[in-house]
Structure 1
Amino acid sequence: MSLTFTLASRNLFHDRLRFIATLIGIVFSVVLVMVQMGLYLGFGHMVTTMIDHTSADIWVVPKGAKSFEDPSLLDLKLRDRVAGVQGVASANPLVIGFSDWRLDSGEVTPVFIVGVDPHDGGLQPWNVVDGDVRALSQGPTVAVDHSYFDRLGVKGVGGTAEIRGRRVKVVAVTDGIRSFTTTPYVFVDVKNARTYTGTPPDRASDLLVRLKPDADRGKTIEAIKAQVGDAGVLSTAEFRKRSHDFWLFGTGAGAALFAGALLGAIVGTVIVAQTLYSSTKDHLSEFATLRAMGSSNSYIYNVIIYQALLNALIGFSFAAAIGAVVVRMTAKSALPIVITPWLVAALLALTVVMCVISAIGAIFRIVRIDPATVFMR
């Protein structure tokens, strides 16, 4: 095995220019697939970010609601019914909706209002880097993400603007709470959210329900369903999946990203196959010499496979390093690229498979070599 590996590595590194060209092809292909899949995962993560940061066990949502951003409303009377169900610890209303943000310069930009109770812990701003979230309950105050400072015309805590003609002040700043629709999230007290979104006092967007520790989850959910009529009753995991599927598959946005990732994989496979096949083909005379010297077919096959594996591992290492840089560079962008450990493992396996398949293609070419050709040179 060591002799086979030594021959494979020497054969691979002998022509450094050809080796570099092969690596470039592999690295380009892997990075292409990695970026496309990273965009797909990043989008999938962003569409459920609000649900992921909510401590609710159960969501009561309007009939047919597809996602967190759905503008439909519930009758607030349902809150008392749900709160009275055995096993329910709390049922708090959530008020969300679009509104207009007027900068001090007079420019107007749309924002997405998220009305929260800063004391109940159901949903509130996270990754707070400046200010105090509890101050949201103290009058017309807001919390915004620093990535939207330019868009909102503020520079931090103390900044001011108007929402629907009402003066507001920034009292908390977060880091990393971005909307996939590019419309800034603006956190406010749930009471002020009604004013800013025009939501009637007897309506709410959703109910965030938390269960008691000893509650029978299944029975409690059935009891809640019996109290809310045609409203939807979903666990956080179910609502997350519904929202995820709606934005990724129902709107076509996710399908486009997935198609891009699939196309990247196909193009990457073709590039790697062509590159490795050409590299192996350039060494036909060497393999013909080995056959003329009496080397077995299995020995030659192993040499080619080892060359492919070396190419795969070295090329993937460079691609992974580039991917890490790309992730860091896009971390603060509107659509960050997300590369998870399982994606890295899957791409490593894909790279190895691509290289081995390419090597097998070259093997079919080599087995047809007549050893006598080495004496005809």
Structure 2
Amino acid sequence: MIIRYCIGMSVAALFGLSTVVPSEAKIEKDVVKIGILNDMSGPYADLGGPGSVIAAQMAIDDLGGAINGVPVKIISADHQNKADVGSATARRWFDVEGVDAIADVPVSSVALAVQEIGRRARRITLMQGSSSDLTGKACSPYSTAWQDDTYSYSKASAQNTVKNGGKTWFFVEADYAFGHALERDVTAFITEAGGSVLGAARHPVNTADLSSFLLQAQSSKAQVIGLLNGGADLINSIKQAKEFGISDSGQKLVGFLVYLTDVHSLGLDATNGLLLSEGFYWDQNDVARTWSKRYFEKTKRMPTKEQASVYASITHYLKAVKSADSVDADLVTAEMRKAPVDYFGHTGSIRIDGRVLYPITLYQVKTRGESTGAWDYYKAVGNVEADRAFRPLNEGGCDLVK
């Protein structure tokens, strides 16, 4: 594999071949500043929102509140699920307010815009957007993708469903970058497994009445209705599908961007049997349970995979700042890609395209009788190792790789 050198990055910095920091190097600022940019008040606020800010602060506190004697500060803003709002905030933070790294940034259209601003500004971005394009055609040498993406969580769910008889599909899809990327990836896996897609009904983000879109799906007679949306849109889709008797009529619902808070909001009667795949679940192992219970003490809610990944990403970033003794993006990037990732009981890694690798688990939502109480919602039914869970490096179109 031949790697194209990035402008402004030495060979040693890019590959982490030399980790020796000059003896005179030290963090160049009086404060390391991290911006948490996400949906604070809209349909995705429960997935990240203020909870991501709490997770970020936990990461800082767990490292003593300072790196090599320099305090770390969190600021936050609401991007309102609008690329122009997120872009304007990112530019102001980088150009005026001295932010060293931006973290979180769900909603793929916003994430793609902010990642590009970070690339041009030579600043670190720690992305939670789900579009696999973040590490594909839009990849950046200064960015890493921490949350399961459209490739990883569509692969296990789609192929498993087709294998078990769900051959024909119809999509109810959010009409923006995330939905389009997910449609592309899910369709490829369905086709590869021997199934087919009959059509799609695309809706704007934050649509309260999804009846017309669901009725299109119902009338298609597809065996499976794939819900290619998230947040309030996903919740409304499942609620209204139940009202129309879609599940009772024999059509199966499959959600792809399903979060723990969605299942909590809907209840097990509406969601039991639903298949989903995640890299983080609060009850997956002792390490995840211990951290999640600490998070619960602060929020009275178990963390979503987005909030957990914010914690993991900021912890890894700050350890790299400590090792480099600098906030310089080239030095920090080299340290981040060299060091193993501590991902809640799993040892992960970061590829040259910025993709963070860790195992993905296929879960099924429990029935009420199987659950022991609030937040005990998932049972593991399969596992995909890190080297198979995410898109192969040479298939993404990232121009850092040839």
Which structure carries more relative contact order (alpha carbon 8 Å, separation 6+)?
1
How high is the TM-score relative to the length of structure 1? 0.25
Larger radius of gyration: 1
How high is the TM-score relative to the length of structure 2? 0.24
